[in-house]
Structure 1
Amino acid sequence: MPTTSVRPGLTAPAGVVVGGVLAVVAALVGVTVSGAAGATDLLDPGAVVRWGSPVVTVLAELSAAVTLGALLLAAAVLPRGSGRRASDGRAWPSATAVAGTAAGAWTLLAVADLVLTYARVAGTRLDAEGFGPQLGLFATSISLGRTLAGVVACAAVATVLALLATGPRSAALAAVPALTGFVLWAQTGHASGDTNHELAVGAMVLHLVGAALWIGGLATIALVAHRLGDDLRATVSRWSPVAAWSLAAVAGSGLVNSALRTGGLDDLSTPYGRLLVAKVVLTAGLALLGLAHRRSVIPRLGPTASGRAPALFWRLAAVELALMGAVSGVAAALGSTEPPVEQQQTGDLTPAEIVTGHPLPPSPRPDLWLTSFRWDVLLAAGCLAAVVVYTRWALRLRARGDRWPVARTLSAVTGLVLLAWVTSGGPAVYGHVLFSAHMIQHMIMVMVVPIFLALSAPVTLAARALPVRHDGSRGPREWLLGLVHSRWAGFWAHPVVAAVNFAGSMIAFYYTPAFEYALRWQVGHLLMVAHFTLAGYLFVNALVGIDPGPDRPAFPIRLVLLFGTMVFHAFFGVALVTQESLLVPEWFGLLGRPWGPSALADQRDGGAIAWGISELPMLALAIGIALAWTKDDERTAKRLDRAADRDGDAELVAYNAMLARMAGASQDGSPERATEVRSPRAPG
């Protein structure tokens, strides 16, 4: 029976409604059990605030989740009804309508969340005198208020862009402010005051975005189910890997958050611990339902499937949405409940803790460089995911009989492991307090890691391993190749521009406020890692890379670009060695280190490191260019020999004929003579 003959009826949308109701109920039950909604003797904001805050929070999170999930489906999942493959694409406009409606609801709920949060934090009733002006001061002058106001702005912008979306590109553009809103959200609640702030915020970003894609994607599929028709199988098959990755992000980040906020098994008996156990159990149930979808239901979807398969799918989807709502409600209650582990730093703080937020590490030793870790969960998770994806792509090529060099896979794994180490291991720990250690971290990140990544040819592998879409949608392959062949990529990947960016970015970074921003704020640190790693990759790929890009210059020009950057690095290192003032003195000059050289002497050591450590990778690149030049000459000679064998040295014969004509023309007594050229391959 065709899939189009089996309608989901009210099952799927009803699952969305039931999920929302269960979310509210679970949030109310959770704060009741934990006592978070109980009245206080001092500065009580009133019952409306105490009970309304968790309800508004969970509804805002669900609206934001549907917004992000619907935009993801519109940008990279749903067929659009064009292309060679049959597809009506009727669900695509509905997805953008769902995104716009959900984003509008998110905007209103974010405003309510801002108001209730201020009332709860300030301990003032909504009808208190002067509430409005105080709320304005909170939203403009207090960090938490500015963050929540930023969420409101992101939701409003996402609303407008979602309603104006007409294709995958505009849908992806609308997802940018939505994602920004989740990043801002991650900096509130327990994560804002956690003693390990960067780890907590990074884990919360993963948790919120993973949950949003998981919940919002399935909810949107349910809401546009009546328009999917024969697109159901393609939609669900494409969304299933997203759900799997979302589950991994939620589970991994949840484990990190739990470890930060509970001290052991005994804490599971506290109100916070009981809510945490309930959330874990419900999430496990969701994982089992997702596994049932993936193994039993999705393979049976399609035009030739029996009528029972779609019905089973929608019933499982409805139950899954209901459980998602319950999990969201418990999560909102957790956010309102005080964890058993103290989240604020107490006691007398050291200068290092005041400046960096972390205790000063011990004096560096070789073993500590290898064994010290301060995990950057976003970058570490990204590197792990990249290793898994790259390996799966290589295995996919091998399974279908295509060859992919093992050396490239090993190069990719080496580069990604090295990147994870320099951003979470010893270079990250000591790079936060020593400029010299920071320079080691920077040089490895910008000059060593990109060599391994460029030689692994990730773009080439992706282009060969990822499936091609024929229904008008843009999958990962289409997005990647569209970016690679875009004007922006062509400009920044141009060898000269890549070399200037590779060298000049160091001046723009270290001698502007960007360096201090990267030290103080996690977003700045992530932007630094992304920029310099990408700049290094583009430069290396222009010299010795395999991936597609603009036409590479002749080998002599490549050597000139390489030696030019070497000279620049030398001048940069010398400038640091001879500099008499500190970079970011409010940071490196106020740490109170009892060990190691002075801050200025350490900065000079960093300049020497920038000068010296860059020589080895540059030498390796020079050798690589020389070898590639030699191989290119050999290939050219072999090609000319094969052409000569095919046409009997036609080019040489034509050249000798030209010389003969010149000789005949000079027989009038001119001193010019023409000598026949013999092929080096001819005998005698």
Structure 2
Amino acid sequence: MPRIVRVIGPAVLLVAALAAVLAGLAFGGGADAPLLADPGALVRWGLPISTLVVNLSLAGVLGALVLSCFAFSPDREEYGKALDFAAGSAAVMTVSAAATGLFTFVSVSNVPWSFDEGFSNGLSSFITSVPLGQAWLGVTLIAAAVTVLCFAVRNHTALVFVTALAMASVIPMAQQGHSAEASGHDAAVTSFGLHVLFAAIWLGGLVTLIVLRGVLGSSRLVTVLERYSSIALVAFIVVAASGYVNAELRVGTLAELATPYGILVLVKVAVLVVLGLFGVAQRRILIDRLKVGGKRSTFWWIVTAELAFMGIASGVAAALARTVTPVPQTRAATPTPAEILTGEKLPPELTFGRLFTSWNFDLLWVLGCAFALFFYLAGVWRLRKRGDKWPVYRTVLWTLGILLLFYITNGGVNVYEKYLFSAHMSAHMVLTMAVPLLLVPGAPVTLAARAIRKRDDGSRGGREWILLAVHSRFAAIISNPLVAAGLFAFSLWIFYYTPIMRWATTDHVGHEWMIAHFLITGYLFVQSLIGIDPVKYRLAYPFRLLLLLGTMAFHAFFGLSIMQMNGLLLADWFGAMGRTWGDTPLADQQVGGGIAWSIGEIPTVILAIVVAIQWSRSDERETRRRDRNADRTDDAELRAYNERLARLAERDKVKP
């Protein structure tokens, strides 16, 4: 590769991003002086530029860390170099996030720049009391922590937690990226967070490859590039889907595409299409040419061009964040109680038909379900292609389980669970009992262990990370049948009788956590009873039935306690929606308790039947094993046993 390309690669990204943000601000009016309370040109132009630097440095952090986890080997120089680059990027992110917080304070408070006590007190109050300031303080602190950890942590397993912490910095950014008073806030938070996260991984991974070009030989480059290409493909899909949702929420109608905001969106879409074509060329042409000894210089020049378009996309995105959207990001003049609480209009009265015709799509779970189904079917296809068998019933059950999960997280139940406690409880029961009952027999861990290719260079791919997690000490603890049953049963009481329920109901991040929590605890419990995938501890079948009956009795008692309550769990939420249809909030809560008490009986019966069937088959297998052993040894065990009885009988005869 020519030395000049090595030098200008990252430079092209920065120049293209800076040029795009300046052009986007000038075209969209994002840096124009307001009629009242102008914070000054420094803030108007400095805020989007500092935000751009935050996004680019975040890309450097996440790209390097993700490749370190999934593509690089700790035994090679590439691993340490990548972590050094991640640490440097995190340091830049720390400074730029702090600057962005400062610019934001001046922009929203209209307090003039000064070094006096009033300015510092106002800034202190902003970052500790105002959600927008708290968000940028959180991003700054996370970036600072990641900077230190990237230098201090070199263990491959521990690096996963550092990567998770770096990804967590996207959460406060996403929560403040859309007005909580505007409609579609939850969808905007999810789509914006996914967009920033996967765009950063995509861009940062490519920059990391350029930074490490000196330590990657020709053969090693091809290996790492194939792994990055798979990550980039997933990132492209998520970025495209989340970008569409973001545009729909902020643009509204096709006619609004003629506005400055809409034109900038079209520019970003065009750049994304070009980047998609780059990805196709990379996967189908460039990698194959490198395998047969093609010129690396051509590859690096094309990567540089790709970085230029990524820079344009990043700059336009930063400009869009400061451009007025066609759809107002403010609350209606006379909001209803439901709009005040949820940001959305109260849906029409719940009917049986609307349960299946109403939809409220959650992009996180739409993509999660799609990827879970695709990768499972791809694994089954790979096994069958090489002649291995995989039971059809496992594929069918996994598919049904994913479809049920998709419906619960996006369908009619999701539409009404904010407004009706009974709908919320229905979603909870299905997530923790019905969905795992379908997913567990699918044996995804066993499929992954057989279908995903094994790494032999010291790096860890999907197979290595899954098996490491399954066989870890933590997994051994939480998969223990008693622990799994305890998590399943006691988390009900802890969730509904502590402030956790308020957080999960009123905060979108808490809602997503709730779905994941109940899905995982239910999965662990069902896995301990009828699971096929490997676990360290298994109870004997009689004890599995006892554990099931005891846990579900505890579960039923919880439902009865809800039914007998005379007060609302969240009176200022479910009791303040202003509903004029359906049961009263207290009656609806009692219905929810009845759902918890009654619906749980159906999965319990099914689980008991499955355990009994497995018990019966286990006895049959043991009987057949003994019969085969008897045939091989000509009943040696039986003859030995009879001879022992005969000796005991003879000894008894000679006794006086």
Q: When the two structures are superposed, what TM-score results if normalisation uses the length of structure 2?
A: 0.98
- Which residues of 2 match residues 374-393 of structure 1 at below 5 A? 374-393=360-379
- Which residues of 2 match residues 415-454 of structure 1 at below 5 A? 415-454=401-440
Equivalent residues of 2:178, 2:185 under 8 A apart: no
Equivalent residues of 1:65, 1:216 under 8 A apart: yes
Superposed displacement of residue 173, structure 1: 2.1
Equivalent residues of 1:13, 1:223 under 8 A apart: no
Show CA shifts across 1:385-406 (max 9, x none).
1111111111111111111122
Change (3 A) 1:236 1:198: same
- Matching residue of 1:50: 44
How many angstroms apart in 1 are the aligned matches of 2:204 and 2:317?
16
Give the % identical residues: 44
Superposed displacement of residue 280, structure 1: 0.8
How many angstroms apart in 1 are the aligned matches of 2:513 and 2:327?
31
User: Is it true that 1:115 corresponds to 2:102 in the alignment?
Assistant: yes
User: Is it true that 1:654 corresponds to 2:640 in the alignment?
Assistant: yes
Q: The residue matched to 2:533 in structure 1 has which SS?
A: coil
Which amino acid counterpart does residue 442 of structure 2 have in structure 1?
Answer: S
User: Is it true that 1:615 corresponds to 2:633 in the alignment?
Assistant: no
Superposed displacement of residue 80, structure 1: 3.2
Superposed displacement of residue 193, structure 1: 4.8
Equivalent residues of 1:237, 1:298 under 8 A apart: yes
How many angstroms apart in 1 are the aligned matches of 2:181 and 2:83?
36
How many angstroms apart in 2 are the aligned matches of 1:467 and 1:561?
37
How many angstroms apart in 1 are the aligned matches of 2:113 and 2:277?
44
User: Is it true that 1:185 corresponds to 2:173 in the alignment?
Assistant: yes
Show CA shifts across 1:184-236 (max 9, x none).
11122335554111100000111001100110000011111111113211110
Which amino acid counterpart does residue 398 of structure 1 have in structure 2?
Answer: R
Show CA shifts across 1:312-362 (max 9, x none).
221111111111111100110001101111122212111112122221111
- Matching residue of 1:216: 204
- Matching residue of 1:78: 72
Equivalent residues of 2:552, 2:604 under 8 A apart: yes
- Matching residue of 2:261: 272
Change (3 A) 1:160 1:434: same
Q: The residue matched to 1:561 in structure 2 has which SS?
A: helix
What is the alpha-carbon root mean square deviation over aligned residues?
1.4
Superposed displacement of residue 132, structure 1: 2.3
Change (3 A) 1:592 1:194: closer
User: Is it true that 1:137 corresponds to 2:131 in the alignment?
Assistant: no
Give the counterpart of 2:614 among 628, 632, 637: 628
Give the counterpart of 1:291 among 280, 283, 288: 280
The aligned length equals 654
How many angstroms apart in 2 are the aligned matches of 1:184 and 1:418?
30
How many angstroms apart in 1 are the aligned matches of 2:22 and 2:262?
17
Using the TM superposition, name which of 99-108 and 496-505 deviates more: 496-505
Show CA shifts across 1:104-160 (max 9, x none).
000000011011111122234334863222111111111111111111111111111
- Matching residue of 1:85: none
How many angstroms apart in 1 are the aligned matches of 2:397 and 2:6?
46
Q: The residue matched to 1:254 in structure 2 has which SS?
A: helix
- Matching residue of 2:270: 281
How many angstroms apart in 2 are the aligned matches of 1:40 and 1:552?
67
Using the TM superposition, name which of 428-437 and 189-198 deviates more: 189-198
- Matching residue of 1:61: 55
Change (3 A) 1:422 1:539: same
How many angstroms apart in 2 are the aligned matches of 1:194 and 1:283?
27
- Matching residue of 2:583: 597
How many angstroms apart in 1 are the aligned matches of 2:180 and 2:50?
20
- Matching residue of 1:314: 300
Which amino acid counterpart does residue 50 of structure 1 have in structure 2?
Answer: R
Which amino acid counterpart does residue 273 of structure 1 have in structure 2?
Answer: G
Equivalent residues of 1:183, 1:205 under 8 A apart: yes
Using the TM superposition, name which of 240-249 and 590-599 deviates more: 590-599
Equivalent residues of 1:12, 1:317 under 8 A apart: no
- Matching residue of 1:15: 9
Which amino acid counterpart does residue 188 of structure 2 have in structure 1?
Answer: A
- Matching residue of 2:186: 198
Change (3 A) 1:13 1:653: farther
How many angstroms apart in 2 are the aligned matches of 1:562 and 1:361?
38
- Matching residue of 1:103: 90
Equivalent residues of 2:127, 2:136 under 8 A apart: yes
Show CA shifts across 1:536-566 (max 9, x none).
1111111111111123111100000011012
Q: The residue matched to 2:175 in structure 1 has which SS?
A: coil
Equivalent residues of 2:476, 2:537 under 8 A apart: no
How many angstroms apart in 1 are the aligned matches of 2:93 and 2:428?
40
Superposed displacement of residue 375, structure 1: 1.5
Which amino acid counterpart does residue 9 of structure 1 have in structure 2?
Answer: R
- Matching residue of 2:28: 34
Q: The residue matched to 2:335 in structure 1 has which SS?
A: coil
Unaligned runs of 5+ in 2: none
- Which residues of 2 match residues 497-536 of structure 1 at below 5 A? 497-536=483-522
Superposed displacement of residue 462, structure 1: 0.7
- Matching residue of 1:245: 234
- Matching residue of 2:153: 165
Which amino acid counterpart does residue 108 of structure 1 have in structure 2?
Answer: V
How many angstroms apart in 2 are the aligned matches of 1:531 and 1:333?
37
Superposed displacement of residue 466, structure 1: 1.1
Superposed displacement of residue 170, structure 1: 3.1
Change (3 A) 1:30 1:391: same
Superposed displacement of residue 172, structure 1: 1.9
Q: When the two structures are superposed, what TM-score results if normalisation uses the length of structure 1?
A: 0.94
How many angstroms apart in 1 are the aligned matches of 2:178 and 2:418?
24
Change (3 A) 1:252 1:437: same
Change (3 A) 1:534 1:666: same
Equivalent residues of 1:589, 1:599 under 8 A apart: yes
Using the TM superposition, name which of 466-475 and 329-338 deviates more: 466-475
Equivalent residues of 2:181, 2:340 under 8 A apart: no
Equivalent residues of 1:370, 1:426 under 8 A apart: yes
Superposed displacement of residue 525, structure 1: 1.2
Equivalent residues of 1:191, 1:204 under 8 A apart: no
Superposed displacement of residue 67, structure 1: 0.5
How many angstroms apart in 1 are the aligned matches of 2:6 and 2:478?
46
How many angstroms apart in 2 are the aligned matches of 1:344 and 1:47?
25
- Matching residue of 2:630: 644
Equivalent residues of 1:31, 1:336 under 8 A apart: yes
How many angstroms apart in 1 are the aligned matches of 2:458 and 2:650?
66
Q: The residue matched to 2:345 in structure 1 has which SS?
A: coil
How many angstroms apart in 1 are the aligned matches of 2:114 and 2:68?
43
Which amino acid counterpart does residue 360 of structure 2 have in structure 1?
Answer: R
How many angstroms apart in 1 are the aligned matches of 2:385 and 2:497?
50
Give the counterpart of 1:93 among 40, 59, 80: 80
How many angstroms apart in 1 are the aligned matches of 2:233 and 2:7?
22
Superposed displacement of residue 168, structure 1: 2.1
Equivalent residues of 2:182, 2:343 under 8 A apart: no
Equivalent residues of 1:191, 1:200 under 8 A apart: no
Which amino acid counterpart does residue 290 of structure 1 have in structure 2?
Answer: G
- Matching residue of 1:676: none
User: Which structure has the larger Rg over C-alpha atoms?
Assistant: 1
How many angstroms apart in 2 are the aligned matches of 1:636 and 1:190?
61
How many angstroms apart in 1 are the aligned matches of 2:177 and 2:595?
41
Show CA shifts across 1:396-422 (max 9, x none).
111111111222112111111111211
Give the counterpart of 1:408 among 378, 382, 394: 394
Give the counterpart of 1:126 among 85, 98, 113: 113
Show CA shifts across 1:34-92 (max 9, x none).
112122332111111111111111111100111111011111111333xxxxxxx2211
How many angstroms apart in 2 are the aligned matches of 1:458 and 1:352?
41
